[in-house]
Amino acid sequence: MRTMWRLRDRHVAEAAREIQHMQKALTTMNVQLANVISDISGVTGMAILRAILQGERDPYRLAQLRNYRIQASEEEIARSLEGNWRDDVLFELRQALESYDFVHKQVADCDVQLQQYLAALPDRDTLQPADLASGQDKAHQNSKKTKSKGRKSQRNQPKFNLEAEFTRICGVNLKTIDGVDVITIATFVSELGTDMTPWRTEDHLVSWLKLAPCRQISGGKVIRHQNVKTKNRVADALRMAASSLIHSDSYLGARFRHLRSRLGPGKAIKATAAHLARLIYRMLMHGQDWVDRGAQEHETKRTEREKLALQRKAAALGFRLEPAA
């Protein structure tokens, strides 16, 4: 499974490079399609590119291939398609498109093989008590509604039900953690598996992933924080999941935004990625699903902590805090 997932990841990266190759060819011909369409590999972009390679040059006929979800009008798309059609660059564009199609065929073949490998893996019985699972079921449904709202489907995800397969293999649904999608779960499980016993505690796992703070200490004082570079695939996937929480209306989203305001983007992403690793470790070790408590819960706890800190500081200075009228 690890070999197949890494191979699939390389194919996805190759497809992204071919998209850049097609964009470069269009720009060389002064075709500014990317100015009106955010993704030329979408339905509208692919339809226009294939029509161009089939010999169509009329920009208004090409603009009629616009999908109804595109915000740009047909007039704007037609204006962006007024370029100089060079035969040599069209040949380059054709080869890039053929390579893109071939890579996607390889990705589909990897998905078929990956599905067979996943089906051969045994089921894992959850360690979660039945009464706790029934009590959390409604909270999970509410959490999924919050997470699915406004989220776009990812084109690079496998076409079969990968979430159900990993829920069966792991014994818990790791996708209940906000920010963690099936791609992150697949990377984590394919690289580390579902057995967390090689790491005695969750902190050992975070340290192994190079997500723990690296401090230089001399004489009991922190001299500086050292940024350790790593090429760990799981750590990179968790960082991507952490960065996606910036607009999340959840407990983890509020926690990430609070860390970002205090520590800056880089340290906040690393700290949140470490927290996601701890949550996955706990779920795989104890078999209990994550229940999102909402952004307001985090803000309430943060307010209480700040109030207690102010009261301790006032007491140390000989004062007493009183609530405002």
Task: For residue 183, give its domain range.
Answer: 157-292
Task: Give yes or no: residues 89 and 170 share one domain.
Answer: no
Q: Is 72 a member of any domain? A: yes
Q: Is 133 a member of any domain? A: no
Task: Give yes or no: residues 199 and 76 share one domain.
Answer: no
The rounded Cα 80 to chain-centroid distance in angstroms is 32
Q: What pLDDT, on a 0 to 100 scale, did the predictor assign at position 99?
A: 95
Task: Give yes or no: residues 109 and 167 share one domain.
Answer: no
Q: How many domains does the chain have?
A: 2
Q: Is 130 a member of any domain? A: no
Please choose, from the candidates 1, 195, 2, the residue with its C-alpha nearest in 3D space to the C-alpha of residue 117.
Answer: 1
Task: Give yes or no: residues 182 and 98 share one domain.
Answer: no
Task: Give yes or no: residues 105 and 162 share one domain.
Answer: no
Pairing of strands 221-225, 215-218: antiparallel
Q: What pLDDT, on a 0 to 100 scale, did the predictor assign at position 154?
A: 65
Task: Give yes or no: residues 54 and 176 share one domain.
Answer: no
Which of 53, 83, 113 is where one domain is finished?
A: 113
Which of 113, 137, 170 is where one domain is finished?
A: 113
Q: What pLDDT, on a 0 to 100 scale, did the predictor assign at position 297?
A: 80
Q: What is the pLDDT of residues 59-74, one digit of tens each?
A: 899 999 988 888 888 8
Which of 113, 133, 168 is where one domain is finished?
A: 113
Task: Give yes or no: residues 164 and 56 share one domain.
Answer: no
Q: Is 100 a member of any domain? A: yes
Helices (H), 174-292: 182-192, 202-208, 233-243, 251-263, 265-286
Q: Is 105 a member of any domain? A: yes
Tokens 């089906």 belong to 119
Q: What is the pLDDT of residues 243-288, one digit of tens each?
A: 999 988 888 988 899 899 988 998 899 999 999 999 999 999 888 7
Task: Give yes or no: residues 67 and 173 share one domain.
Answer: no
- Between the alpha carbon of residue 113 and those of residues 7, 9, 42, 165, the distances in Å are 11, 14, 26, 14
| DSSP category for residue 154 | P
Task: Give yes or no: residues 97 and 176 share one domain.
Answer: no
Whole-structure pTM value:
0.79
* Residue 191 and residue 185 in contact, taking contact as beta carbons nearer than 8 Å: no
Q: What pLDDT, on a 0 to 100 scale, did the predictor assign at position 126?
A: 58
Crossing angle for the helix pair 87-120 and 43-53, to the nearest 10 degrees? 130
Q: What pLDDT, on a 0 to 100 scale, did the predictor assign at position 111?
A: 92
pLDDT less than 50: residues of the chain? 128-152
Q: Is 304 a member of any domain? A: no
Task: Give yes or no: residues 161 and 109 share one domain.
Answer: no
Task: Give yes or no: residues 184 and 72 share one domain.
Answer: no
Q: What pLDDT, on a 0 to 100 scale, did the predictor assign at position 26?
A: 92
Q: Is 140 a member of any domain? A: no
Q: What pLDDT, on a 0 to 100 scale, did the predictor assign at position 307?
A: 87
Q: Is 222 a member of any domain? A: yes
Task: Give yes or no: residues 102 and 209 share one domain.
Answer: no
Please choose, from the candidates 233, 273, 240, the residue with its C-alpha nearest in 3D space to the C-alpha of residue 256.
Answer: 273
